[in-house]
Structure 1
Amino acid sequence: MQTDSSFTFVLFGGTGDLSMRKILPALFEAHRAGGMLAESGKIFAVARHVADRAGYLEWVNEHVKPHVSKNGLDETAWASFLDRIEFVKIDLGKPEDFVLLRDAISGLPGIRVFYLATGPSLFVPICHALASVGLNENSRIVLEKPLGYDLKSSNAINDAVGEIFAEEQIYRIDHYLGKEPVQNLLALRFGNVLFEPLWRREWVESIQITIAEELGVEARGDFYDNTGALRDMVQNHLLQLLSIVAMEPPHSMDSDSVRDEKLRVLRALKPIDPRDIGKVAVRGQYHAGVIRGHAVPAYATEPGVKPDSTTETFVALKVEIENWRWAGVPFFLRTGKRLADRVAEIVVNFRAVPHSALGASALRGGANRLVIRLQPNETIRLYCLAKQPGEGMNLASVHLDLAFDRFFREGQMEAYQRLLLDVINGRLALFVRRDEQEAAWRWVEPILNEWAASNKPPKPYAAGTWGPAAASAMLAQHGTCWLEEEN
């Protein structure tokens, strides 16, 4: 992915956790790879917690280096990366300070990228301040989630940002769309004749999408207690992955063709009747438990969390898509904190053969499945039945590994690295369009409203487990189970 595109990358929230753990490490990896970032490209960090460039570089050395030196750090590349970085001290509450930013970057060649690694309450003020000094021209703006609290607040932010930046200038980032296995899912489906004929209701029994975390809310208790798992993970990450899995083949891989097909999926989601929410939606909240031998506290005792909080830290949903390809196929979505393992995966369970001369094991649904693992190790596995060695026709499950590292010498690109390069180079396909976001909010809101109106607390589950038993019972009603329960 070579580029000659000159750019100025302006990072708001330049001392924040996201900038330290993800954004700057991703830019460093692109820099170290050589040829991915134009040599003239500059990075301007914006913050008010340090005094000057020297202080900021000291901050970067302390907080970014640990995230880029796990496999050894090339000190020469690191030093040349730091040469790209400039610093502008700005109080985001003072629009007049943005003159300092304008003066610092005026005259620099190429596109301007403004990355808003801040809270969503600052998105609109920052955009207005950029426009007030003429920095909304020849520019792109990256918005981190969460973009609003509900459909109304999301529309308010989009309306305000849309008055300043055109839709093609706005990059709403969802880093799961930049992960290598998601890209390979598109390649498998649309680059090979093998899977596409099977990718439909006649041959698929069910699909599971899981994003599980071992961590709790950490230092984000104040934020999370006003958000919850449905807003934090389902409305964006899980529904975006669902739309990628279920979309029709696009006309091409250009940005609007891909996003048009994703939008069709989101608009085809079967609305959840509030009377049925107890059957198709499970919400839970973790209590004290043990993870990898360490005792962890209950959610309600975490710093910043109200002791009587009814915020969900776990969600499991049964989702249906009302179109010809997927009618009747259940999609099971699940996400949670303080679960038994850190894993993100997509499981496509194919139907059993209609008749088998080889025994009952061949008639079991899910004997053939495709497992796309997004984290912690990014792999794709195709499971099938094979004869066990020895006497008799005894079948056992085996898997074929799609080990891309054996075929390609280049290492896998991290999600943020891919997406940041796409922003710099003007590729929108892996970013969320406004109408996609609105469709997701419209589908999620009835669940939010019903839970808010209900007096029922979330179902408890012990930290270090896979969530409330009700999530397993929901799948059992459909004659299936979560992947880890089968294993």
Structure 2
Amino acid sequence: MIDRLVIFGATGDLSGRFLLPGLASLHAAGQLGDRFRVVGADRGGQDDAWFRQWAADRLDRHAATWPADARRAVVDAACYRRADVTDPADVASVIAGPGPVAVYLALPPALFPAAVTSLHAAGLPAGSRIVLEKPFGTDLGTAVELNRLLADLVPEQAVFRVDHFLAMTTVQNLLGSRLANRVLEPIWNSTHISEVEIVWDETLALEGRAGYYDGVGALKDMLQNHLLQLLCLVAMEPPVSLDERDLRNRKVDVLRSVRPLTGTDLGRRTRRARYTAGRLGGREVPAYADEQGVDPVRGTETLAEVQLEIDNWRWAGTVFRLRSGKALGTDRKEVAVHFRSVPHLPFGGGEEAPPNLLRFGLDPEDLTLHLTGTGAHAHLLAPLELTARMEPPELPAYGRLLLDVLTGDPALSIRGDEAEEAWRILTPVLSAWSSGMVPLEEYRAGSGGPGRPAHSAADQA
């Protein structure tokens, strides 16, 4: 297990909100030894005392559920180095030390190529690992080039293209529900399933993240990585095992089977929009185009929706709808599996039973099965709902990802060809959107999205 973690971009939101709390969870679980050290590096020119105080403040704010001694252990293990990640000499001074090191690039994706080039010139110690946050590249060409740079630096098994969605309890439960229950897998196909919705709609607006988000947008920020990863877990064939090769191979099979969107399908099966001024949670929210740091000319979308089909035996005829939006009236974060209607109902009176629905809630994490039964009168249909709450995980998503990095388990990271296949799917969509083939719609903050009403009277006020 590697006992030295270097974080480039150490005083950013990712580090303070997720990585340091993830380390605190590992300390609380007894997964990190006394020799473990975390080196924070950026261009700020601070010192160890300042960084430790900054880390302590962020841990108190974002990791208060973990014991104080675990938070203190992270602070005590931390030190700071001023470094320009594009300067090989600076990078060499940061990674210098005995034994291998795990390097976490908590940086804007545009800096990944320069950072990887600097790491190559600096010379990583043997056995080191490198971690990159999504999105991996900005398009297919940059993803291919970044993979080439990484291949020159470390073996593929030492590259962790991380997506914290894969470490969430309910996401893991997707596989468990499918593969460990005989009642589901035989009907997990297009004969019985008409549509799968993979949705991450949130009431959260831009919240000061224009510096990152305005250059990315909802399609690249959410669909290209998070939601396509969920698609893989929903649609893949049962793997022989859950080790890195078998799991990754089955995920790539799914991505390779996704039918490319072409011609008129790009207009009929994709949608982009951005929010205008409205009310969220009783407060006024400015239009996205008026948010500080936003360049309205870019036409960055805050809602993206894509309808995909998979060309293989299992899924021919099933629709997969991926959607993510910001500043919506309600949070909806789930994978919803819609089953086809029964072919015949032996009930009189023109009764109709809604199709069964299996919901994997992502936040909060739960599992709900919507069925139809009979009520007080045996001949009358009534809805039934079975709900299970997920047991709280021992580690949060970033704690699990960091543990995998430090122990060298890449099963939940994304392989190079997998990242490229994801870009292949969405490249025609990006081209159509940038050319204006698909109009940029608008929806009011606090509403249900373009063409949908607000969710509550309060939102309409």
- TM-score range relative to shorter protein: over 0.9
Match of 1:67 among 37, 54, 62: 62
Is 1:447–2:432 an aligned residue pair? no
- 1:412 is displaced (CA, Å) by 4.8
Letter in 2 for 1:42: R
Q: Which residue of 2 aligns with 1:480?
A: none
Tell me which moved more, 93-102 or 295-304: 93-102
After superposition, the Cα gap between the structure-2 partners of 1:452 and 1:130, relative to the gap in structure 1 and judged at 3 Å, is closer
Is 1:13–2:9 an aligned residue pair? yes
Tell me which moved more, 136-145 or 356-365: 356-365
- Correspondence list, 1:143-292, <5 A: 143-292=132-281
Q: Which residue of 2 aligns with 1:417?
A: 399
8 Å contact 1:355–1:363 — kept in the other structure?
no
- Correspondence list, 1:385-464, <5 A: 385-388=372-375, 390-405=376-391, 411-454=393-436, 457-464=439-446
Letter in 2 for 1:160: L
Q: Which residue of 2 aligns with 1:378?
A: 365
- Matches of 1:136 and 1:348 in 2, distance apart? 46
8 Å contact 1:362–1:385 — kept in the other structure?
no
Letter in 2 for 1:74: P
After superposition, the Cα gap between the structure-2 partners of 1:360 and 1:247, relative to the gap in structure 1 and judged at 3 Å, is farther
SS in 2 for 1:64: helix
Match of 1:97 among 71, 83, 90: 90
CA deviation profile, 1:149-189 (whole Å, cap 9, x unmatched): 21112222222222112211110011111111011111111
Q: Which residue of 1 aligns with 2:33?
A: 38
- Matches of 1:190 and 1:358 in 2, distance apart? 34
Which runs of 5 or more structure 1 residues have no equivalent in the other structure?
A: 472-487
CA deviation profile, 1:185-208 (whole Å, cap 9, x unmatched): 111111221210010011112111
Q: Which residue of 1 aligns with 2:112?
A: 123
Is 1:297–2:286 an aligned residue pair? yes
Match of 2:311 among 296, 305, 322: 322
- 1:442 is displaced (CA, Å) by 1.0
- Matches of 1:201 and 1:395 in 2, distance apart? 26
8 Å contact 1:272–1:446 — kept in the other structure?
yes
Q: Which residue of 1 aligns with 2:23?
A: 27
- Matches of 1:113 and 1:463 in 2, distance apart? 41
After superposition, the Cα gap between the structure-2 partners of 1:44 and 1:370, relative to the gap in structure 1 and judged at 3 Å, is same
After superposition, the Cα gap between the structure-2 partners of 1:308 and 1:13, relative to the gap in structure 1 and judged at 3 Å, is closer
- 1:363 is displaced (CA, Å) by 4.6
Tell me which moved more, 462-471 or 55-64: 462-471
Q: Which residue of 2 aligns with 1:483?
A: none
CA deviation profile, 1:409-467 (whole Å, cap 9, x unmatched): x6453111111111111111111111111111111111111121126641111111121
- 1:100 is displaced (CA, Å) by 2.5
| Identity of matched residues, % | 38
- Correspondence list, 1:130-141, <5 A: 130-141=119-130
SS in 1 for 2:296: coil
CA deviation profile, 1:248-287 (whole Å, cap 9, x unmatched): 0001111111111111111111111222222111111111
Letter in 1 for 2:400: R
8 Å contact 1:274–1:447 — kept in the other structure?
no
SS in 2 for 1:163: helix
Q: Which residue of 2 aligns with 1:484?
A: none
After superposition, the Cα gap between the structure-2 partners of 1:38 and 1:396, relative to the gap in structure 1 and judged at 3 Å, is farther
Letter in 2 for 1:58: Q
Match of 1:48 among 43, 47, 67: 43
8 Å contact 2:302–2:326 — kept in the other structure?
yes
CA deviation profile, 1:33-65 (whole Å, cap 9, x unmatched): 22x223322211112325221111011122332
CA deviation profile, 1:216-255 (whole Å, cap 9, x unmatched): 2232324333322111211111111111100000011111
Letter in 1 for 2:150: V
- Matches of 1:394 and 1:456 in 2, distance apart? 46
Which runs of 5 or more structure 2 residues have no equivalent in the other structure?
A: 454-461
The size of the alignment, in residue pairs, is 453
What value does the CA root-mean-square deviation take over the aligned residues? Answer: 2.1
SS in 2 for 1:252: coil
SS in 2 for 1:55: helix
Q: Which residue of 1 aligns with 2:52?
A: 57
After superposition, the Cα gap between the structure-2 partners of 1:130 and 1:306, relative to the gap in structure 1 and judged at 3 Å, is closer
Q: Which residue of 2 aligns with 1:476?
A: none
Please identify runs of 4+ aligned residues in structure 1 that moved more than 6 A: none
Tell me which moved more, 176-185 or 85-94: 85-94
8 Å contact 2:56–2:71 — kept in the other structure?
no
- 1:356 is displaced (CA, Å) by 1.4
Q: Which residue of 2 aligns with 1:485?
A: none
8 Å contact 1:90–1:98 — kept in the other structure?
yes
Q: Which residue of 1 aligns with 2:357?
A: 369
8 Å contact 2:52–2:76 — kept in the other structure?
no
- Matches of 2:42 and 2:415 in 1, distance apart? 28
After superposition, the Cα gap between the structure-2 partners of 1:294 and 1:430, relative to the gap in structure 1 and judged at 3 Å, is same
- Matches of 2:3 and 2:163 in 1, distance apart? 22
8 Å contact 1:136–1:164 — kept in the other structure?
no
Is 1:107–2:107 an aligned residue pair? no
CA deviation profile, 1:453-483 (whole Å, cap 9, x unmatched): 1266411111111211289xxxxxxxxxxxx
Letter in 2 for 1:396: A
Letter in 1 for 2:371: C
